[in-house]
Amino acid sequence: MRHFLKETDFSREEVAGVFATAAAMKQSRGRHTPPSLAHQSWGLLFFKKSTRTRVSFQVGVAELGGNPVMLNADELQLSRGETTSDTARVLSRYLHGLVIRCYEHSLLEEFTRFGSVPVVNALSDFLHPCQIYTDFFTLAERWSGDSSRYLESLKGKKIAFLGDTACNMANSFILGGALLDVEISLSGPAGFEPGEKIIDQLKQDKLSPTWSFTQDPAEAVRGADMVYTDVWVSMGMEAEKADRLKLMQPYQVNGALMKAAKSGAYFMHCLPAHAGEEVTQDVLDSPASIIFDQAENRLHTQKAILAHLGAANRG
């Protein structure tokens, strides 16, 4: 059984296929979508808040001919002590697949161990692979007119990621960047460097690192083709809010920092954004900002991921 818990669960060749499918689905949306999930019900199980992921998966499953079943973790017996293993076994009797947003990444792994249906990571504290595939797809769309050459258009490009460089998005850039040969230059305060877990993951996947870390944001953005940031206080980190806002202030993406990047560099953010914290409103609204293309592309990319997973599991 194939799952999609991390960037490297698909090979480079499979990512190329997912991107081509996403481009085709984007083009033909509203006219024709192959009904990859016909006669299937997929559970969308959320332990954390979500706007984009939740709605784009709900719409995406339906557009692929499937029945999306929204499951708020607070409303399941899980929240009253039923075990993850029993929940995984029970849900597998009703559903054909599960999309899960959670805290510990190990919960996703537990679902794959005890359940018998494919599991898709809709964000864990460790990784956000659906977002990173979307982000690379969004850039490739800009850098290549030909969807069969999307991966080539990414090769050797430089991305600067500023702020909380120990968060799930930074980890996903580290892993996705190594998979697709993209240089990832991370910059954040001391104490927020990428952790052991992501370094071990690269080793496990036998990938050469393409990332570097500096505390100097100007150095990180120099020569960057795209500048990225994410919230300074990820879901679950609220207790550290005051400290984080203070420590990360020098890493705010503002007009001056964008000017220090390569001319024509894009600005991206997975959203939700906190204007005035990790990014200024003028950068969010600038022509360099492609944040809403990014948000839209979640739908197309995730539909392609689901279709690919279905095909891979059919063999």
As annotated, the active-site residues are 101, 128, 131, 230, 270, 298
Identity of the residue numbered 102: C
**CA atoms of 108 and 90, how far apart (whole Å):** 15
> Nearest Cα to 154, choosing from 307, 7, 303?
7
Residue from 5, 231, 253, 279 in contact with ligand NVA (CB under 6 A): 231
Q: Is 284 in the site for ligand NVA (CB under 6 A)?
A: no
CB of 8 to ligand CP, least distance (A): 20
Contact set with ligand CP (CB under 6 A): 50-54, 123, 131, 270-272
Judged by beta carbon, residue 51 or residue 79, the one nearer ligand CP is 51
Instruction: State the binding string over 190-229 for ligand NVA (x if CB under 6 A, else -).
Output: ----------------------------------------
HEC readout, the chain: CCCECCHHHCCHHHHHHHHHHHHHHHHHCCCCCCCCCCCCEEEEEECCCCCHHHHHHHHHHHHCCCEEEEEEHHHCHHHHCCCHHHHHHHHHHHCCEEEEECCCHHHHHHHHHHCCCCEEECCCCCCCHHHHHHHHHHHHHHHCCCHHHHHHHHCCCEEEEECCCCCHHHHHHHHHHHHHCCEEEEECCCCCCCCHHHHHHHHHCCCCCCEEEECCHHHHHCCCCEEEECCCCCCCCHHHHHHHHHHHHHHCECHHHHHHCCCCCEEEECCCCCECCCECHHHHCCCCECHHHHHHHHHHHHHHHHHHHHHHHHC
- Sign of CA pseudo-dihedral 74, 80, 82, 84: positive
Q: Which partner from the list ligand CP, ligand NVA, none does 231 bind, CB cut-off 5 to 8 Å by kind?
A: ligand NVA
Q: Which partner from the list ligand CP, ligand NVA, none does 112 bind, CB cut-off 5 to 8 Å by kind?
A: none
Q: Which partner from the list ligand CP, ligand NVA, none does 168 bind, CB cut-off 5 to 8 Å by kind?
A: ligand NVA
CB of 302 to ligand NVA, least distance (A): 14
Judged by beta carbon, residue 16 or residue 170, the one nearer ligand CP is 170
Instruction: State the binding string over 144-173 for ligand NVA (x if CB under 6 A, else -).
Output: -----------------------xxx----
Judged by beta carbon, residue 57 or residue 211, the one nearer ligand CP is 57
CB of 168 to ligand NVA, least distance (A): 5
Interacting positions 264-283 with ligand NVA (CB under 6 A): 270
Q: Which partner from the list ligand CP, ligand NVA, none does 169 bind, CB cut-off 5 to 8 Å by kind?
A: ligand NVA
Q: Which partner from the list ligand CP, ligand NVA, none does 63 bind, CB cut-off 5 to 8 Å by kind?
A: none
CB of 276 to ligand NVA, least distance (A): 17
Strand partners, 229: 162, 269
Residue nearest to ligand NVA (CB): 234
Distance of CA 26 to the CA centre of its chain: 18
CB of 4 to ligand CP, least distance (A): 15
Residue from 147, 201, 234, 289 in contact with ligand NVA (CB under 6 A): 234
Q: Which partner from the list ligand NVA, ligand CP, none does 51 bind, CB cut-off 5 to 8 Å by kind?
A: ligand CP
What angle, 0 to 180 degrees and rounded to 10, lies between the N-to-C axes of helices 12-28 and 129-143? 70
CB of 199 to ligand CP, least distance (A): 24
| CB-based contact 278:248 (threshold 8 Å) | yes
Binding site residues, ligand NVA, CB under 6 A: 123, 167-169, 230-231, 234-235, 270
